[in-house]
Amino acid sequence: AEAAAAVSALTHWDEHARSGCVLWSLAIEHAVMHGELDVRSGLSLLSPAEATFWTEKLDEAETAPPATFNPNGWVVTALQAAWSSIAQTPAAGPEHYVEALNTAIRIGNDTDTVAAIAGGLLGARWGATAIPAEWRGIIHGYPGIPGVFLATLALDAVAAGLAGS
């Protein structure tokens, strides 16, 4: 939580934005470690005021249609749009990845940000195999780093973390 807030603070002065980054990061960790999507898993690590703020925002995301969160260029509405897309997409299993991500993209406005937030959460839950092969084939990093190399870097990072345990 501290690391996510510190990295976020480099570009986001707003406390809500930093807290949103903390929630997203901890939800990623939770999905990887427990195999379930729970964007609320980090609420207890926020200040009481931020926990209340985000509880209300996440409640809205779980009850309002995803398109409600447009414009969505601010961290708060972007996370709401992504979470609404995930929480309100009824597909089950790995198909949830494609359906929820398509829902996030169809909202419009800051589509790349909303899709990146949703895609990160969904990927942490369902894994790379949920991503259609044609999508995996065009994934790349900057500048021009192929997706296969990114996967190797991720595996190396995991191995280094395990070695340090």
> Tens digit of pLDDT per residue, the chain (165 long)?
999 989 998 988 899 999 999 999 999 999 999 999 999 999 999 999 999 999 999 999 999 999 999 999 899 999 999 999 999 998 788 899 999 999 999 999 999 999 999 999 999 999 888 989 898 888 888 888 988 888 888 888 888 876 665
15 in Cβ contact with 22 (< 8 Å): no
Q: What is the pLDDT of residue 71?
A: 93
CA-to-CA distance for 3 and 160, rounded, in angstroms?
18
Q: What is the pLDDT of residue 60?
A: 98
Q: What is the pLDDT of residue 160?
A: 85
Q: Which residue has the tokens 């931020």?
A: 50
93's tokens:
């299993």
pTM of the model: 0.88
Q: What is the pLDDT of residue 15?
A: 94
72's tokens:
């969505």
Distances in whole angstroms, Cα of residue 14 to Cα of each of 8, 24, 120: 9, 16, 22
Q: What is the pLDDT of residue 165?
A: 57
CA-to-CA distance for 12 and 6, rounded, in angstroms?
10
Q: Which helix (H) or strand (E) holds 140?
A: strand 140-141
Q: What is the pLDDT of residue 155?
A: 85
